Amino acid sequence: MTKIVGIVLIIVAIGLGYMGLTKVSNSGGKVEIVGIELSATDESKKTEGFIFLGLALVSFVGGVSLVRKK
């Protein structure tokens, strides 16, 4: 039973990691107008992405420890 929960946690970690990476990478934009480059970032999206990445790390470590447990 614990191995099944561990595998589910690893799958959830992969999903959370993907969501976190997409949020961090989509949090900024650049526009070039008449040779001047303007950039803007959305700090709340970036923070949310890092929270997802942290949760992914915690669930991955928990899942691996449950799978390896005897």
User: Is the model's pLDDT at 67 over the cut of 80?
Assistant: yes
| In the predicted structure, residue 61 carries a pLDDT above the cut 90 | yes
The pLDDT tens digits for 16-43 are 999 999 988 887 777 777 778 777 777 8
Q: What is the pLDDT of residues 2-15, one digit of tens each?
A: 899 999 999 999 99
Measure Cα distances from 11 to 18, 28, 31, 56, 58 in Å: 11, 28, 37, 10, 12
pLDDT of residue 56: 96
Domain of 57 in residue numbering reads as 2-68
Number of domains observed in the structure of the chain: 1
Q: Mean pLDDT throughout 43-63?
A: 92
The yes-or-no verdict on residue 70 having pLDDT over 80 is no
